[in-house]
Structure 1
Amino acid sequence: MQISMKCSIAVHCLIFIHEAKGIAKVTSNLLSESTGCNPVVIRNILSALKKAGLITVARGTGGAELCVAPSQITLYQIYTALEPDGITSLIGIHPCEGRSCPVAQNIRKVLQKPYHKIEDSIKEAMESVTLQSMIDEFEDIVQTPD
């Protein structure tokens, strides 16, 4: 079970976009160089973030910018922009209801409540982390290197 790397790449891009404001035009090629990801992957991530209303991207020559204050963007918003199934895809239940075994016939019902509790906890934790808090952490690290 793992949160996809798209989320960390998106956070990387968003912090880069924030830090580059007024310094450089942030394009998919520039973000590709920074992240080490293919520009097509970056464009797909930027497209999802744009669709979620978190960034704007200038047509033609590019240039991504945040369109929401970093303090108003949560890690959960970033994650759900990239993962259409959201956190429900983190924990799956294998399909086995059609089997004659009574455990197989009822395992979904047994797991639904604890899995929903786990999903709710993950969502709550992700909603408590903002892009601003991650930017602050980044800036603290950059200012006080090891």
Structure 2
Amino acid sequence: MHISNKCSIAVHCLIFINEYGEENKVTSELLSLSTGCNPVTIRNIISAMKKDGIIDVKFGTGGATLAVPMQDISLYRICEAVDPKAIDKMISVHSSPSPFCPVGRNIGDVLDRTYDTLKENLISSMKSITMEKIVNDYHTILEHDK
């Protein structure tokens, strides 16, 4: 299991915007340099977060800023904004079990029960983790680097 790369890139961008957005114009090119991702990928992620109301982007000159406080941005909200199918991709049943085998014929129904519980627990955990906590973790790691 892994969280979508789009989600981790979005978290990276939000930390960067939080840390540098007050003094600097944060553009997709600047975020591209920090993340190591193509600027088009960054623009798509920024666009998704803007559409969700997580960030604001100035028209014309550009520059991303936070639209809501960090404590109001959960990891789940970020992932839903940038990759709405992330949870389903993370926890899913294989697509081609044999309909001629009793196990293959029923594995979807069997695993759906367990996987629904897993998804609910994962979503609950992701909702409890905010960008405020992630930024605090970032600052703690920065302090240890000194």
> TM-score, normalised to structure 1's length?
0.93
Aligned length: 146
Deviations 1:7-56 (A, max 9, x none): 11110100100111321000001101111111111001101111111001
**Consecutive unaligned residues in structure 2, runs of 5 or more:** none
In the alignment, the residues of structure 2 paired with residue 39 and residue 104 of structure 1 have an alpha-carbon distance, to the nearest angstrom, of: 43
Deviations 1:117-142 (A, max 9, x none): 11111111111110011111111222
- Give the 5 Å matches for 1:1-146: 1-96=1-96, 99-145=99-145
Residues 110-119 or 97-106, more deviating: 97-106
Identity %: 47
Match for 2:45: what amino acid? I
In the alignment, the residues of structure 2 paired with residue 140 and residue 101 of structure 1 have an alpha-carbon distance, to the nearest angstrom, of: 53
Which portions of structure 1, spanning 4 or more consecutive aligned residues, are displaced by more than 6 angstroms?
none
Is the 8 Å Cα contact of residues 4 and 86 (structure 2) preserved in structure 1?
no
Is the 8 Å Cα contact of residues 3 and 86 (structure 2) preserved in structure 1?
no
Aligned-residue offset at 1:95: 3.0
State the SS of the aligned residue for 2:65.
strand
Is the 8 Å Cα contact of residues 17 and 26 (structure 1) preserved in structure 2?
yes
Residues 82-91 or 67-76, more deviating: 82-91
